[in-house]
Chain A
Amino acid sequence: MDAKFEVSSSRGGSLTKLAYYSTVQHKVARVRSFDHSGKDIENEPLYEISVQEEITARLHFIKFENTYIETCLDFIKDHLVNTETKVIKATGGGAYKFKDLIEKKLGLKVDKEDVMTCLIKGCNFVLRNIPHEVFAYQKDSDTEFRFQTNHPNIFPYLLVNIGSGVSIVKVETEDKFEWIGGSSIGGGTFWGLGALLTKTKKFDELLQLASKGQHTNVDMLVKDVYGGAYQTLGLSGNLIASSFGKSTTADKGIGVPSGTIQLQCFILWQGEVQALFLRHEGYLGAIGAFLKGAEQDNPNQYSWGENYAGSSGLMSTSPDVYPMQRTRSGTFDMLEMDRLERPLVNLPLLKDPSTYIPDTVDLTDDAMARKYWLTCFEEALDGVAKRAAASQPDSIDALQRAEKFRQKYWNKLQTLRQQPFAYGTLTVRSLLDTREHCLNEFNFPDPYSKVKQKENGIALKCFQSVIESLDSLGWEERQFALVKGLLAGNVFDWGAKAVSDVLESEPQFGFEEAKSKLQERPWLEDSYSQWLERLKEGPPHKCALIFADNSGIDIILGVFPFVRELLSRGTEVILACNSGPALNDVTYSESLIVTERIAAMDPVIQSALREEKLLLVQTGSSSPCLDLSRLDKGLAVLVRERKTDLVIIEGMGRAIHTNYYAALKCESLKLAVIKNSWLADRLGGKIFSVIFKYEVPCK
């Protein structure tokens, strides 16, 4: 890792936050088509896989206590390899106080940036770029934190910044804001008083201590003043009448101060006033200062994604939750954001982007489901680590890295067991994404690359015979066979343990075997008749957008025959595959090769490609799930241009864990085979139950 370009820090009275931009070198798997030039050799692999170094941009945010300022400056100095940097952007009171120290130590000019301007810039940035950034805090509730979907329009809001002191700012637009008040009683007061009153001197330990204390021993409550009679007055007896009001009486308790100060930044939305907090409250100033410094490169033009592997999560306010982690986070807390190659936008076909929630089950809320899925991911972990190591047989440290990956993801899972809200709403998607991030962190960019390569090769060999048998069927029979093929293809999912076990032990398990596993109609969710009716009676669709799932049989023998049928009907097809690898999901670059090979065999596909009636695009995602509010801008443009009127979402990750309830402006098909008995049970079915959900938006 080498830090380049711009470093900025925000020093409030007590904590130093450092934001820096670095380029991260990491390995990516690339696929390249061989030049077969006619001589198709039986045992030759379909395409070449290579692992290459790629450089991507990453934003890092680190939080220190001020006492570590020297360490912090050393850190900056050590990582500041780009000597072109002459200026460091700093904000917060400390920017003034430590100006000389910084200039001397780093030999850089300190450019002081206004605190509030930076804070607001930073706040706008996280509100735009981090899903589940905003949450409401619920006292005395099972779910301590309730995360909010990102609102497309973030203004106006009231920003209450609680640092050492408190500032209150009304933010109306990106550039228009007004300071409307403040208080000197803030985090510094809590820390200062806490240090005076207790033996604890560190901020984080004070918070922890406070969480164990009973403020009612110290504070005078309404019920202390009114006795038992407060109910008749319509008052809550637990309201504090006089803070520390009880400390004057003879028996002074133990002198633990109340921890009623919430060290979070909260904002109030328009309309209903609601206290909202941000997960990355502490970083806003530093992010803002950074953004100011990076204006010529304008980070606002990019989309950013939180890297779960490199970020420490949100901490609970409850006592005794992983004291070790708490202590560590007090002095060293971090957030990493990867710059995505292309900007992400909403799918234009979303019915209401402001209420769209990708995930079907909120595991933060649903304790039973959470328990199941965490256990499920724990149990699968050894296998994933093994596969990761096996995917790089030539690497000498693959085993070690796989073990590190295993440890890291295991720890994340344990953190999530204790603090489900650590990274926003906990969902199956976030669990899957975190696993992918952790794999990448230890240079396992694509553990399934070889599996995918092999399966794609095998499936391609069957393509023509599958097409022949489909073509021999009558129209109605064929429609059903196509759907069944699509579903059977979807059985081949290495992400599902029930399936990967079968695939590991029965290498000959094929398309026909998969078909035989499928549930008979009526399916668990079955609107096939309506779909058939639509095909029979209605005009051909103008353009269909298909989100593909797995490599191999799924894409080649399931999706492509279906695509071919749509094309024959005169429907254009946009086939969207992931930009980066996730499990055995087909990637955009793999889809290019596969399509090229199919086109060589099939004139329908070939002419559709040539006439641009079949278009291959990338989703912008590297997740086994699908967030329709964060899709590649190119895809969105194409969807609009081609007047897409049918969306097909395939697979458990994309159509069940996410988007099961997604409402679209056009017709949609959600298809999946449930390859997990617990989930099947929950939905009222058995393993290999079929979901076939055809929806038409109400006019």
Chain B
Amino acid sequence: SPVLWGGGWSILSMASQMLGAPQHEVSQKGAFCSRTEESQPHLSKTDLTARISFFVFLFPWFGLDIGGTLVKLVYFEPKDITAEEEEEEVENLKSIRKYLTSNVAYGSTGIRDVHLELKDLTLCGRKGNLHFIRFPTHDMPAFIQMGSEKHFSSLHTTLCATGGGAYKFEQDFRTMGDLQLCKLDELDCLIKGVLYIDSVGFNGHSECYYFENPTDAERCQKLPFNLENPYPLLLVNIGSGVSILAVYSKENYKRVTGTSLGGGTFFGLCCLLTGCSTFEEALEMASHGDSTKVDKLVRDIYGGDYERFGLPGWAVASSFGNMMSKEKRESVSKEDLAKATLITITNNIGSIARMCALNENINRVVFVGNFLRINTISMRLLAYALDYWSKGQLKALFLEHEGYFGAVGALLELLDSA
């Protein structure tokens, strides 16, 4: 029965506790290694019936990705709860479900990306909606505190978490929230999440898309891309920093390289340069700025194209290079600086991605990560730059659920462990 498969470690642990079976060690990578019938010889048929009813209380299904800047939380809201189940559902669980699904903002910083919600998803035999929630990492202590106040631990669930924060906050979860974190590998989760979401699609639409005519405002079009046969692909995850993975199959991938100049750099520099305080504000400023006042272009140095090496006059020769001059420093606006920061970071990522793609001989490059959220400027620039510098050989692809794949992967690990 699929319901049984979906059980997860916590119910077994509860059941086995009740039945006097030994507890299983929580492994670092997955907590559910020994959950099969064979490994639980004590369970009888009648016990299995008991487990079915237990299973309902196994919710909530969470996947957590605690990054350097943002925490990404995916939550599966079951929509097929029977009256019987509803009756047995403990108060805590009910209130968590209600709290998460009836709000779009949590506290002052938590946000549910309603537009990303995946509806009528079947996950492990259950039907429901997948919700996408994010909040800043620096609010993690408050989140744990809340979990503690709401007696989350009484649900006897295991939280599957990935990202560096899974390590950093493990201790806090245990001591403050009485919760056992199950830490999962970041890159495993990311790839799992990407492949899964792409396969289920986005509420009937394509998850993956690309830009046609990316530099022509009039003719630029976002078009669906069929990633049915995805391998090999270069996966560029732009969070606070950047990781670049070459993916050859579901299990076969490698981290090619990375750079510390990522979304965190854009936002951090913007804060310092413009005094802005949110990512949205930084992007908004950037959209009104002109980076060519800040950057030194090839034509600023050579008067035109640098023909010998085929460099066009409009290419940036030195990012922020004009800011060496006092007059030019005094003539730029904060918007110009924000735009230049965005262009610098984006170009750098694009250029590294291009070199990796060349080295790995891969021509599809998928960009993900929260840096791209509401960031059309960067996406179009990446699309254009990749196309231009590779003379049409490379294609930049994007995914609708940008930064949530790690969290989705963590959730899948929870469910998929069999």
Residues of A at the B interface (CB closer than 8 Å) are 13-14, 93-94, 96-97, 114, 116, 163-165, 179, 181, 183-189, 191-193, 195-197, 201, 203, 218-220, 222, 224-230, 232-233, 239-250, 252, 255
Contact B260 A243 (CB under 8 A): yes
Contact B321 A13 (CB under 8 A): yes
**Contact partner, A13, options B169, B241, B324, B326, Cβ 8 Å:** B324
Contacts of B315 in A (CB 8 A): 184
Whole-angstrom CA separation of A224 from B137 in the bound complex: 11
With A229-B170, A243-B260 already in contact, the answer to whether A184 and B318 are too (CB < 8 A) is yes
**Contact partner, A241, options B240, B267, B308, Cβ 8 Å:** B240
Interface size class of B (residues with CB under 8 A): 35 or more
Whole-angstrom CA separation of A116 from B306 in the bound complex: 11
Contact B344 A13 (CB under 8 A): no
**Contact partner, B168, options A14, A97, A227, A232, Cβ 8 Å:** A227
Asked if B316 is an interface residue, CB under 8 A from chain A, the answer is: yes
**Contact partner, B268, options A14, A225, A246, Cβ 8 Å:** A246
Contact B323 A193 (CB under 8 A): yes
Q: B289-321 vs A: 1/0 string, CB under 8 Å?
A: 000001110001111000011000001111111
Asked if B214 is an interface residue, CB under 8 A from chain A, the answer is: no
State the Cβ distance, A12 to closest chain B Cβ, in Å: 9
Whole-angstrom CA separation of A341 from B3 in the bound complex: 92
Whole-angstrom CA separation of A19 from B295 in the bound complex: 29
Contact A164 B318 (CB under 8 A): yes
Contact A249 B317 (CB under 8 A): no
Known: A184-B319, A192-B319. 14 other contacts (CB 8 A): A13-B317, A13-B318, A192-B321, A193-B269, A196-B323, A219-B260, A220-B68, A227-B168, A241-B68, A242-B69, A244-B272, A245-B241, A245-B264, A248-B271
**Contact partner, A188, options B164, B262, B273, B319, Cβ 8 Å:** B319
Contact B344 A185 (CB under 8 A): yes
Whole-angstrom CA separation of A250 from B137 in the bound complex: 13
Contacts of B138 in A (CB 8 A): 249-250
- Segment touching A, from B18-26, B55-63, B347-355: B347-355
With A192-B324, A195-B324 already in contact, the answer to whether A164 and B164 are too (CB < 8 A) is no
**Contact partner, A197, options B265, B272, B300, B317, Cβ 8 Å:** B272
Contacts of B317 in A (CB 8 A): 13, 93, 164-165, 184, 188
Contact A184 B344 (CB under 8 A): yes
Whole-angstrom CA separation of A625 from B49 in the bound complex: 94
Specify which of B169, B324, B348 lies most central, judged by the most chain A CB atoms within 10 Å of its CB: B324
Which B residues from 14 to 40 make CB contacts under 8 A with A? none
Contacts of B67 in A (CB 8 A): 225
With A188-B320, A229-B170 already in contact, the answer to whether A252 and B272 are too (CB < 8 A) is yes
State the Cβ distance, B184 to closest chain A Cβ, in Å: 13
With A164-B296, A188-B320, A241-B260 already in contact, the answer to whether A13 and B301 are too (CB < 8 A) is yes
Which B residues from 142 to 167 make CB contacts under 8 A with A? 163-165, 167
Contact A240 B169 (CB under 8 A): no
Contacts of B262 in A (CB 8 A): 242-243, 245
With A242-B241, A243-B260, A248-B69 already in contact, the answer to whether A191 and B265 are too (CB < 8 A) is no
State the Cβ distance, B356 to closest chain A Cβ, in Å: 12
Asked if B254 is an interface residue, CB under 8 A from chain A, the answer is: no
**11 CB-based A-B contacts, threshold 8 Å:** A13-B321, A184-B318, A184-B348, A192-B320, A192-B322, A193-B269, A226-B167, A241-B164, A244-B265, A245-B260, A245-B262
Contacts of B267 in A (CB 8 A): 245, 248
With A114-B308, A165-B321, A189-B344 already in contact, the answer to whether A230 and B167 are too (CB < 8 A) is yes
Contact B321 A252 (CB under 8 A): no
**Contact partner, A220, options B170, B264, B320, B351, Cβ 8 Å:** B264
Whole-angstrom CA separation of A443 from B239 in the bound complex: 64
Contact A184 B316 (CB under 8 A): yes
Asked if B261 is an interface residue, CB under 8 A from chain A, the answer is: yes
Whole-angstrom CA separation of A196 from B303 in the bound complex: 26
Residues of B at the A interface (CB closer than 8 Å) are 67-69, 138, 163-165, 167-171, 239-241, 260-265, 267-269, 271-273, 294-296, 300-303, 308-309, 315-324, 326, 329, 337, 344, 347-348, 351, 355
| Smallest CB gap from B164: residue in A | A225
State the Cβ distance, B246 to closest chain A Cβ, in Å: 19
| Smallest CB gap from B171: residue in A | A227
Q: Tell me what chain B mostly uses at the interface: helix, strand, loop, or mixed.
A: helix
Specify which of B67, B240, B320, B329 lies most central, judged by the most chain A CB atoms within 10 Å of its CB: B320
Contact A164 B321 (CB under 8 A): yes
Contact A242 B320 (CB under 8 A): no
State the Cβ distance, B228 to closest chain A Cβ, in Å: 33
Whole-angstrom CA separation of A250 from B301 in the bound complex: 39
Contact B164 A226 (CB under 8 A): yes
Whole-angstrom CA separation of A222 from B317 in the bound complex: 30
| Smallest CB gap from B343: residue in A | A184
Contact A245 B168 (CB under 8 A): no
State the Cβ distance, B170 to closest chain A Cβ, in Å: 7
Contacts of A191 in B (CB 8 A): 320-321, 323-324
With A93-B317, A97-B303, A248-B267 already in contact, the answer to whether A240 and B167 are too (CB < 8 A) is no
State the Cβ distance, B241 to closest chain A Cβ, in Å: 4
State the Cβ distance, B253 to closest chain A Cβ, in Å: 17
Contact A197 B170 (CB under 8 A): no
Whole-angstrom CA separation of A189 from B260 in the bound complex: 16
Minimum-distance CB pairs A-B, first 7: A93-B301, A227-B168, A192-B323, A245-B264, A192-B320, A242-B264, A188-B318
Specify which of A93, A97, A230 lies most central, judged by the most chain B CB atoms within 10 Å of its CB: A93
State the Cβ distance, B88 to closest chain A Cβ, in Å: 38
Specify which of B67, B262, B355 lies most central, judged by the most chain A CB atoms within 10 Å of its CB: B262
**Contact partner, B264, options A179, A193, A243, Cβ 8 Å:** A243
Contact A245 B69 (CB under 8 A): yes
Contact B164 A240 (CB under 8 A): no
Contacts of B294 in A (CB 8 A): 192
With A93-B301, A165-B317, A201-B326 already in contact, the answer to whether A244 and B269 are too (CB < 8 A) is yes
State the Cβ distance, B411 to closest chain A Cβ, in Å: 21
Whole-angstrom CA separation of A248 from B272 in the bound complex: 8
| Smallest CB gap from B163: residue in A | A225
With A96-B302, A229-B170 already in contact, the answer to whether A248 and B320 are too (CB < 8 A) is no
With A114-B308, A225-B165, A241-B260 already in contact, the answer to whether A247 and B321 are too (CB < 8 A) is no
Whole-angstrom CA separation of A14 from B301 in the bound complex: 11
| Smallest CB gap from B279: residue in A | A248
Contact A195 B260 (CB under 8 A): no
With A114-B308, A242-B240 already in contact, the answer to whether A218 and B164 are too (CB < 8 A) is no
Whole-angstrom CA separation of A226 from B171 in the bound complex: 12
Whole-angstrom CA separation of A184 from B326 in the bound complex: 20
Contacts of A222 in B (CB 8 A): 164
Contact B347 A184 (CB under 8 A): yes
State the Cβ distance, A150 to closest chain B Cβ, in Å: 29
Contact B302 A14 (CB under 8 A): no
Contact A224 B68 (CB under 8 A): yes
State the Cβ distance, B332 to closest chain A Cβ, in Å: 9
Whole-angstrom CA separation of A187 from B262 in the bound complex: 19
Contact A243 B321 (CB under 8 A): no
Whole-angstrom CA separation of A165 from B317 in the bound complex: 6
Contacts of B171 in A (CB 8 A): 227
**Contact partner, A189, options B164, B169, B321, B329, Cβ 8 Å:** B321
Contact B167 A227 (CB under 8 A): yes
Whole-angstrom CA separation of A192 from B168 in the bound complex: 35
Contact A255 B272 (CB under 8 A): yes
Whole-angstrom CA separation of A592 from B164 in the bound complex: 78
State the Cβ distance, B162 to closest chain A Cβ, in Å: 12
Whole-angstrom CA separation of A255 from B268 in the bound complex: 11
Whole-angstrom CA separation of A524 from B260 in the bound complex: 58
State the Cβ distance, B307 to closest chain A Cβ, in Å: 10
| Smallest CB gap from B167: residue in A | A229
Whole-angstrom CA separation of A97 from B309 in the bound complex: 18
Whole-angstrom CA separation of A193 from B347 in the bound complex: 17
State the Cβ distance, A63 to closest chain B Cβ, in Å: 15
**Contact partner, A184, options B168, B268, B295, Cβ 8 Å:** B295
